């Protein structure tokens, strides 16, 4: 349980900590580049820490019962100590990669210790194709609702033809994408602030209970 403290009137608002990760393990991933670009476009009152999912093992409930791996513990702690999450997803076969689902499944466990609960979350995507990962985003958002996050969905950051939108050094060059990303980060930060000002966290709403 991570009770959210109410923000007292007049209290100085702290910097919003955003934790970001991509569903690609690839060096040179467009989605990792998009996260890197996000760091340059943050509101003044936010900071972004990036994490690589390389090192998160395949989920196995036997492993969970015997003790959560250190890499997963670190991942869960990073999520829990953040005010908001930014997830960049590639699209694999009209969905999001298994690497990402695996990491989400780990962080939602053990039962009753879901690290995502009540986090503000935004999803962004990039593909070299014409549709920018919109199908992957839709499916990922369904799962993020199931783990009780608060999705921030506008403006949509869906980067099609990604190979044309970064320079040789990996810097985002497309002005429209920069504008959408700036808007999304602003809304994500605002949502995190709203959630932090609430006096009570929501009741966990995962409906499938385990009998053990
Ligand atoms: C298994 C696989 C399936 C893919 N399926 C799609 C797809 O359905 N739609 C799409 O736009 N791109 C698809 N792609 C291309 C990815 O968008 C492309 O490899 C992209 O660069 C991956 O993201 P990354 O650059 O962050 O690693 C697929 C790639 C792989 C490896």
- Render pLDDT for 122-155 as a digit per residue (tens, 0 to 9): 999 999 999 999 999 999 999 999 999 999 999 9
Average pLDDT for 178-200: 94
Domain count, the chain: 1
92 lines ligand 1 (CB under 6 A): yes
Please report the pLDDT score of residue 90 as a whole number.
98
Question: Beta-strand (E) ranges in 40-164?
Answer: 46-51, 84-89, 120-126, 150-159
pLDDT tens for 28-37 read 999 999 999 9
Q: Does residue 91 fall inside a structural domain? A: yes
Q: Does residue 207 fall inside a structural domain? A: no
CATH number of the domain where residue 115 is located: 3.40.50.360
Please report the pLDDT score of residue 201 as a whole number.
65
Q: Ligand 1 mean position to 94 CA, how many Å?
A: 9
Q: Does residue 3 fall inside a structural domain? A: no
Q: Does residue 212 fall inside a structural domain? A: no
**What are the residues whose beta carbons fall under 8 Å from the beta carbon of 13, sequence distance 6 or more?**
7, 45, 193
pLDDT tens for 40-85 read 999 999 999 999 999 999 999 999 999 999 999 999 999 999 999 9
Q: Does residue 81 fall inside a structural domain? A: yes
pLDDT tens for 75-108 read 999 999 999 999 999 999 999 999 999 999 999 9
Q: Ligand 1 mean position to 24 CA, how many Å?
A: 9
- Residue located nearest, by CA, to atom 21 of ligand 1: 127
pLDDT tens for 9-25 read 434 458 999 999 999 99
Q: Does residue 160 fall inside a structural domain? A: yes
- Residue located nearest, by CA, to atom 24 of ligand 1: 29
Q: Higher model confidence: residue 40 or residue 210? A: 40
* Token reading at 191: 């949502």
Does the bond joining 155 to the residue before it have cis omega, within 30 degrees of 0?
yes
Please report the pLDDT score of residue 2 as a whole number.
41
Domain that holds residue 42: 16-196
137 lines ligand 1 (CB under 6 A): no
Q: Does residue 202 fall inside a structural domain? A: no
Q: Does residue 85 fall inside a structural domain? A: yes
Please report the pLDDT score of residue 198 as a whole number.
84
CA distance 76 to 2: 13
Residue 115 and residue 76 in contact, taking contact as beta carbons nearer than 8 Å: yes
Q: Ligand 1 mean position to 90 CA, how many Å?
A: 6
């Amino acid at each position: 349980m991570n009770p959210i403290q109410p923000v007292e009137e007049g209290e100085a608002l702290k910097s919003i900590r955003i934790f970001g990760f991509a569903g690609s393990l690839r060096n040179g991933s467009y989605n990792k580049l998009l996260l890197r670009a996000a760091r340059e476009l943050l509101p003044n009152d936010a900071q972004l820490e990036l994490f690589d999912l390389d090192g998160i093992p395949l989920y196995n409930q036997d492993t969970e019962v015997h003790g959560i791996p250190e890499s997963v513990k670190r991942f869960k702690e990073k999520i829990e100590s953040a005010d908001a999450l930014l997830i960049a997803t590639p699209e694999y076969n009209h969905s999001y990669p298994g690497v990402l689902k695996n990491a989400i499944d780990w962080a939602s466990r053990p039962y009753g210790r879901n690290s995502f609960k009540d986090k503000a979350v935004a999803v962004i995507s990039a593909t070299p194709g014409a549709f920018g990962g919109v199908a992957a985003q839709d499916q990922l958002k369904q799962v993020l609702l199931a783990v009780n996050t608060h999705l921030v969905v506008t403006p949509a950051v869906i980067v099609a033809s990604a190979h044309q939108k970064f320079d040789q050094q990996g810097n985002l060059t497309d002005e429209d994408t920069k504008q959408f990303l700036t808007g999304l980060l602003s809304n994500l930060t605002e949502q995190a602030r709203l959630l932090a000002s609430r006096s009570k966290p929501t009741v966990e709403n995962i409906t499938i209970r385990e009998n053990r």
